[in-house]
Amino acid sequence: MKAFKGRAGMSWLLALSLSASVAAGILIVEKQTAHAGPRAKKAHRVSASMREHVRAMKNEDTVKAILQINGKLSNQFNALLRNNGVRVKNNFDNLNTLSIELPKRVVDQLESFSEVVYVSVDSEVKSFGHVTDTTGTEAVRTQRTTTPLGGTTTTTLDGTGIGIAVLDSGIDKDHVSFLDKSNGKRIALSKDFTGENRTDDPYGHGTHVASTAGGNGRISNGAYTGIAPNANIINLRVLNARGAGTVSSVLSALNWVLTNRGLHNIRVVNMSLGMPAVESYKNDPICKAVRKLVDAGVVVVAAAGNNGKDAAGRKVYGAVHSPGIEPSALTVGAVNTYGTNSRSDDSVTSYSSRGPTRSFWTDTTGVKHYDNLMKPDLVAPGNKLVYAQAEDNLLVTQNPQLDARVSGSDERKMMYLNGTSMASPIVAGAAALMLQANPKLTPNMVKALLMYTAQPLSNASKVEQGSGSLNVEGAVRLAKLVRTDLAILPVLGAPLLSTLSPPSQQTTIANYTFNWGRSINLGHAFATGPELITFYQRCYGLGVLIGDGVLVSDGVVISDHTMMSNGVVISDGVIVADGVIVADGVVVSDGVIVADGVIVADGVVVSDFTVQAQSATVGGDVSSSMDVPVDTGTDFLDY
């Protein structure tokens, strides 16, 4: 470990041995790129997956593509788009990106135009009660403040005033879970991007996700209260009636958020969906759109994926999905709480996708250059969660065991789901509470405070749990102490907190006390030290990454000291071993983990109801006996 000695200059962080770096995290270095920097070779403008796709097509076939451009279009390029059988389907003006349909023969021509940044396939995208207690949410729900005259005022931390945009399969707006205490609708706006011209939830995934983040506690005396039960919910439907969507539908929704985020104060976006992470985050159009949102001040939370094990139940590494591979996203894995409020028995679920990220870009010589970022950033409860059930949804129709049998009334039914898709909205709800407590927080501050206060779980590596398990109590307590009078461009090392004494760095939940992890993920390394919360770090601002140390050559991380103040410790989080990953103390060759960017056997996202079935039959993820309170039909309003 190396501590910063000054605030300027550059420092090379090089891990000289495998054993010295295992605890800090994992980075893979490929044999093919040994002696070459990440952009030493010219990159293809047409993605490898697109080239493979068109090779399998007939000459007369057309392909749906996502075209990223630099915004300066020549007359020749405009002519190409107007003729040659090319059809522009959508223009995502905020993202400098087009959705197009073009003949196979035109694809190769795109590479010759300087205004083309990247061409990729318009791929398919799929979805992947006790929670408020075990996450520490109830511990901060009621906020008491001392007045200047010595009295106290009481407020409720419930997401009031914060908008959470849910990109999913729609929401059943008639479900009781989405009413406010005055019986008004909290689904502030609904919009369809699938082309099916509906915003309800025939699939059943989005309703459950939305209520996990912001469902109220009316049913069963508050047993199924969401994390932010009074937040405004923006329903952006990007997955169709069978739970599938396209890159272009997701881009349409993200483009809409960039334009309309001031509407309903959208501060948080939840994306419990994903696709195989083949393209590097530098080229992936969804990742680049996520980055623009984060730079604009919106927290984007993404599910890591559910491919943490193969069909034989063996651990799989490197299967984090897009957009969870994006460095600026808050990527979330899943924890099994075993139905208890105490966190002493919690563990990462076997199906939760592990890092490092295996997305890549290909140079013109055919060599793949992998991103190898440490993900997820943290983990949260995601196993056998009970939340709102959409009326007549496909998931329950095909899998009746998912009905939790809480109520016989359609607008009060609840259902079980498993997966990182459930863990993600829990973190999204936590972010909403933090922003309600302190609206001045930037997305990078929210991310850093969540990671710093997380609880490291035993028997789980950094690429399984990131910084640890979500601790809402600690994150909110710390968020309230962050100064609200920081300048637009604060000075590196300026006091970050409104108090001279840092808070106690431990939390007690259900009589179990744990220390905060006190580290944040920098992408290729981890940073530790109390200075992360006592001093302002430049990477907490807008337009930069927390993981601002970049891989510049195999085995070397270069980190700009001006991003971190004196006293912050950066791990030597780089492993150099000819493309070999070391995880959980076991050396595994890269080809065994994930070969050439293929995720599991067929390259598709495992849907959550399949995970539910697997977790009931494959040991390790089944919750212990847990009460499922039945609804009385009487609304509970004391949530």
Q: Is residue 319 part of a domain?
A: yes
Q: Is residue 2 part of a domain?
A: no
Q: Quick one: average pLDDT of 230-248? A: 94
Taking alpha carbons only, the member of 457, 455, 435 closest to residue 445 is: 435
Taking alpha carbons only, the member of 64, 92, 68, 88 closest to residue 78 is: 88
Q: Is residue 162 part of a domain?
A: yes
pLDDT the model gives residue 333: 96
User: What is the rounded CA–CA span in Å between residue 310 and residue 386?
Assistant: 26
Between the alpha carbon of residue 346 and those of residues 383, 417, 467, 619, the distances in Å are 11, 18, 15, 15
Higher per-residue confidence, 636 vs 419: 419
State which of 125, 146, 169 marks the end of a domain: 125
Q: Quick one: average pLDDT of 501-520? A: 93
pLDDT the model gives residue 549: 56
Name the strand (E) or helix (H) holding 637. Answer: none
User: Do strands 163-168 and 232-237 pair parallel, antiparallel, or not at all (unpaired)?
Assistant: parallel
Q: Which residues span the domain enclosing 82?
A: 48-125
Check whether residue 78 and residue 162 sit in a common domain: no
Q: Is residue 297 part of a domain?
A: yes
What's the mean per-residue pLDDT of the chain? 81
Query: Is residue 486 within 8 Å of 494, Cβ to Cβ?
Result: yes
Q: Is residue 576 part of a domain?
A: no
Sequence-ordered list of residues with C-beta below 8 angstroms from that of 150, at least 6 positions apart, any chain: none
Check whether residue 250 and residue 305 sit in a common domain: yes
Range of lowest pLDDT (101-115, 181-195, 307-321, 576-590): 576-590
In which band, very low, low, confident or very high, does the pLDDT at 29 lie, cut at 50, 70 and 90? Answer: very low
Taking alpha carbons only, the member of 266, 210, 267 closest to residue 435 is: 267
User: What is the rounded CA–CA span in Å between residue 334 and residue 306?
Assistant: 9
Query: What one-letter code names the amino acid at 25?
Result: G
Residue whose pair of structure tokens reads 């990527």 in the numeric block:
331
Check whether residue 149 and residue 100 sit in a common domain: no
Is residue 595 pLDDT above 80, yes or no? no
Q: Quick one: average pLDDT of 333-354? A: 91
Taking alpha carbons only, the member of 297, 620, 320, 615 closest to residue 443 is: 297
CATH number, position 267? 3.40.50.200
Encoded tokens for 70? 């630099």
Q: Is residue 560 part of a domain?
A: no
Neighbour tally for 403: CB within 10 Å = 17
Check whether residue 257 and residue 400 sit in a common domain: yes
Chain centroid offset of residue 135 CA: 18
Residue whose pair of structure tokens reads 């999913």 in the numeric block:
168
* Sign of the dihedral through C-alpha 254, 478, 325, 169: negative
Taking alpha carbons only, the member of 259, 258, 243 closest to residue 196 is: 243
Check whether residue 114 and residue 246 sit in a common domain: no
Query: Is residue 486 within 8 Å of 154, Cβ to Cβ?
Result: no
pLDDT tens digits, residue range 4-14?
Answer: 333 333 232 22
Query: Is residue 532 within 8 Å of 502, Cβ to Cβ?
Result: no
Omega before residue 323 within 30° of 0, cis: yes
Query: Is residue 419 within 8 Å of 205, Cβ to Cβ?
Result: no
In the chain, the N- to C-terminal Cα span, in Å, equals 46
Residue whose pair of structure tokens reads 């390790």 in the numeric block:
620
Query: What one-letter code names the amino acid at 525?
Result: A
Encoded tokens for 343? 């966190």
Query: What one-letter code names the amino acid at 522?
Result: L
Q: How many residues does the chain have?
A: 639
User: What is the rounded CA–CA span in Å between residue 376 and residue 353?
Assistant: 8
Q: Quick one: average pLDDT of 44-53? A: 84
CATH number, position 67? 3.30.70.80
Task: Pick from 151-155, 379-383, 461-465 the range whose average pLDDT is largest.
Answer: 379-383
User: What is the rounded CA–CA span in Å between residue 10 and residue 560?
Assistant: 6
Chain centroid offset of residue 352 CA: 13
Please provide residue 189's backbone torsions phi and psi, each rounded to the nearest 5 degrees: -160, 145
Check whether residue 148 and residue 74 sit in a common domain: no
Number of domains in the chain: 2
Between the alpha carbon of residue 339 and those of residues 131, 256, 343, 384, the distances in Å are 9, 38, 10, 9
Residue whose pair of structure tokens reads 């985020």 in the numeric block:
261
60 exposure class (CB count in 10 Å sphere: 0-12, 13-18, 19+): exposed
Check whether residue 396 and residue 342 sit in a common domain: yes
3-state secondary structure 98-159: EEEEEEHHHHHHHCCCCCEEEEEECCEEEECCCHHHHCCCHHHHEEEEECCCCCEEEEECCC
Check whether residue 194 and residue 109 sit in a common domain: no
User: What is the rounded CA–CA span in Å between residue 540 and residue 160?
Assistant: 24
Between the alpha carbon of residue 228 and those of residues 161, 164, 382, the distances in Å are 10, 9, 17
Encoded tokens for 57? 């097509």
User: What is the rounded CA–CA span in Å between residue 211 and residue 213?
Assistant: 5
Check whether residue 100 and residue 169 sit in a common domain: no
Check whether residue 253 and residue 346 sit in a common domain: yes
State which of 125, 155, 176 marks the end of a domain: 125
In which band, very low, low, confident or very high, does the pLDDT at 572 lie, cut at 50, 70 and 90? Answer: low
Q: Quick one: average pLDDT of 162-189? A: 96
State which of 97, 125, 153 marks the end of a domain: 125
Collapsing DSSP to helix, strand or coil, 46 comes out as strand
pLDDT tens digits, residue range 293-303?
Answer: 999 999 999 99
pLDDT the model gives residue 125: 66
Q: Is residue 348 part of a domain?
A: yes
Q: Is residue 277 part of a domain?
A: yes
Query: Is residue 292 within 8 Å of 322, Cβ to Cβ?
Result: no
In which band, very low, low, confident or very high, does the pLDDT at 583 lie, cut at 50, 70 and 90? Answer: very low
Taking alpha carbons only, the member of 432, 31, 64, 395 closest to residue 212 is: 432
Check whether residue 121 and residue 133 sit in a common domain: no
Check whether residue 307 and residue 447 sit in a common domain: yes
